[in-house]
Amino acid sequence: MSKLLKGSIDLNKINESVVFKGAKGAKYIYVDIWINEDADNYGNHAGIKQSTNDGESFKSHYIGNAKKSFGWADVVENEKPSESKPLPF
């Protein structure tokens, strides 16, 4: 079964010095997503950190968070998405 976390990233917190380009010019950052058993004071179940691998040292900093959406046993039933209906055309 799939599980969904919905979250946000504060783009002002992105360390631009470690943004890297892919083969077709797309820009990327590495992220670590930490899922916690219990929610924090704001109902978040996950923290998102931008990560880098700088030689021997590993560095990361907090850039966002996420909440459980559906597919988790402890999410209230009405928070789960309804079944999709076919389009009328």
Q: What does the pLDDT look like over 39-62, one tens digit per residue?
A: 999 999 999 999 876 655 667 789
pLDDT value of residue 1? 73
Backbone dihedral region for residue 16 (phi beyond 0: left; psi -120 to 50: alpha; all else: beta): alpha
Ranges of residues in the chain whose predicted pLDDT is under 70: 53-58, 74-89
Token digits of residue 85: 């209906």
Separation between Cα atoms, residue 51 and residue 34, nearest integer Å: 12
